[in-house]
Amino acid sequence: LPTIEKINSTFTYHSETLNRDEYSYKSDATNMKTPDITWTNQGKFNKLEFHLKAHLDDTYVFSRNPSRPSYIRTVKFGIVSATATVIHMKLKNGGLYEANRENLECPNLSSTTPKTDLSCDLTTRYIIQFDSGDKYKVHFSVSTGGYRQLVNNGYNHGGPQTYNVKKTENSMELHFDYDDPVHCIEDSSCYSGEVPFVIRQDVT
């Protein structure tokens, strides 16, 4: 499987009239087993940037295999696909539905052009006003594969035969919350014995 060495996203609101970035949030899911979740109360973003860095140690992969037989002319293995799927989920009637989906792909990758090292930057602009309860999800997927070219009596035997792909995946989410917090004392929903607020060490 490929190793995802770095994976992050930057969500920015850029003002065209002022020609500057007003604010931005960065989410990083490098080496995380579960989605990285960031909460925000900013109302809109219009510039989304994603960075992905991955590596496949093909020397380690093929060191366990026997020598290449004479009937295989060429064999290549590496990263054949890397994508970021961006999903906007909106809250309606107590549940979430998918309002928008966009698939972004790192260029120049395929089963016949695999790479062992990948550094990919993806950018998209999605201008929308987010509502409280919305979720913005980014799902990253890196696939390994490759091909072999068989030979018969010195001539290529058919076209390249591609390998089945193996995937490594990770994701991150931006959650939107614009509602004022309500303490359980206000609506009498506190559990028995709950303490409203605790500071174990005085900060002054």
- Quote the pLDDT of residue 8: 87
- Quote the pLDDT of residue 87: 92
Phi, psi for residue 63 in degrees, rounded to 5: -65, -20
pLDDT band at 132 (very low <50, low <70, confident <90, very high): confident
DSSP state of 183: -
Mean per-residue pLDDT over the chain, rounded: 83
Distance CA 152, CA 156 (A): 6
Q: Which is nearest to 106 in space by CA: 52, 45, 49?
A: 52
Task: For residues 174-188, give the mean pLDDT.
Answer: 82
Residue-wise pLDDT tens digits, 23-43: 888 888 888 778 888 888 887
Residue ranges and CATH numbers for the domains of the chain are: 3-176 (2.60.40)
**HEC sequence for 26-68:** EEECCCCCCCEEEEECCCEECEEEEEEEEECCHHHHHHCCCCC
Rounded to two decimals, what is the model's pTM? Answer: 0.75
Distance CA 18, CA 23 (A): 13
pLDDT band at 203 (very low <50, low <70, confident <90, very high): low
